[in-house]
Amino acid sequence: MDGGIPLQDSVVYGPIHSRRLGHSLGINILPVSHKVCSSNCVYCQYGWTVSGRFPERLKKAPELLKEIEESFSRLVHSGTRVDCVTLAGNGEPTLHPELEAVIIGLKALRDVYFPKAPVGILSDSTQITRHKVRQAIGWLDVCYMKFDAAEESTWRRINDPLGHTDFQAMIRVLHELPDVILQSMFVQGTYDNTDDGHLATWIDRVAWIHPQSVQVYTIDRPTAAAGITKVPRPILEGIAARLTEATGVPAEVFD
């Protein structure tokens, strides 16, 4: 299960039936020609993050919102079911410099076209130490933040953050964010974060962060690195049960 899948080719995509979010309408505020990300996760479905210069630039907030409204209108007229609207796409959405303007505009459009659908974000958590990003995501209905590893060495091996990211500061901010939902991807094979020692540390860290809940899941698509394997559901269920028993934090399993 390696190689990756094609990037999203538009600003609005789906809805896709997500294991975790239902009929999720994706919002890609990043380029369509290349991935823009602050991590190089070994399990990424879009393959590796490639550095270099690319001709395509980020679209400004007004252009993005115009395309989003056009797509929302078409979806409403076609009777398409939308359970939630999720900023995700071709990399890390919190890297967009006009993130707050995009989110405010997106929520206004949601109110018009899909008033019952919460607006959320899928993030690798690396940018939340920036005040501007925290201020922007404060407008969202829900924040899904990645937390795959509780030890910095394991985190760097699996998530491979690009540029400078202060791991301890990231965890402190996760603790401070209200009603955050953690997403923890567990893998085995060439990379593994399911050993007992790491799980004990992960449970301690989650207890301190004290999120609203944790989504425990594993791969179901091609991965950037070769040799990564799915974690069997009984193991995922055991991880979730250990977490809830030790901390009281609810955990959902997806495989």
pLDDT of residue 224: 96
Residue 201 placed within a domain? yes
Write out the residue range of the structural domain in which residue 127 sits. 12-254
- pLDDT tens digits, residue range 73-120? 999 999 999 999 999 999 999 999 999 999 999 999 999 999 999 999
Predicted TM-score (pTM) of the model is 0.94
| pLDDT score recorded for residue 54 | 83
Domain of 82, CATH number, reads 3.20.20.70
- Give kind and range of the element (H or E) at residue 187: none
Positions of E strands within the chain: 12-18, 22-27, 84-87, 119-123, 142-146, 181-185, 188-189, 213-217, 228-229, 251-254
Q: Which of 7-21, 75-89, 92-106, 150-164 has the lowest mean pLDDT?
A: 7-21
Q: Give the integer Cα–Cα distance in Å for 119 and 77.
A: 20
Instruction: Please report whether residue 35 resides in a domain.
Output: yes
Long-range Cβ pairs for the range 198-202 (8 Å, 24+): 198/149, 198/150, 198/151, 198/154, 199/239, 199/242, 201/150, 201/151, 202/149, 202/150
Tell me if 1 is assigned to some domain.
no
| pLDDT (0 to 100) of residue 90 | 97
Confidence category of residue 1, pLDDT binned at 50, 70, 90: very low
Rounded distance, CA 203 to CA 249, Å? 10
How many structural domains is the chain composed of?
Answer: 1
167 within some domain? yes
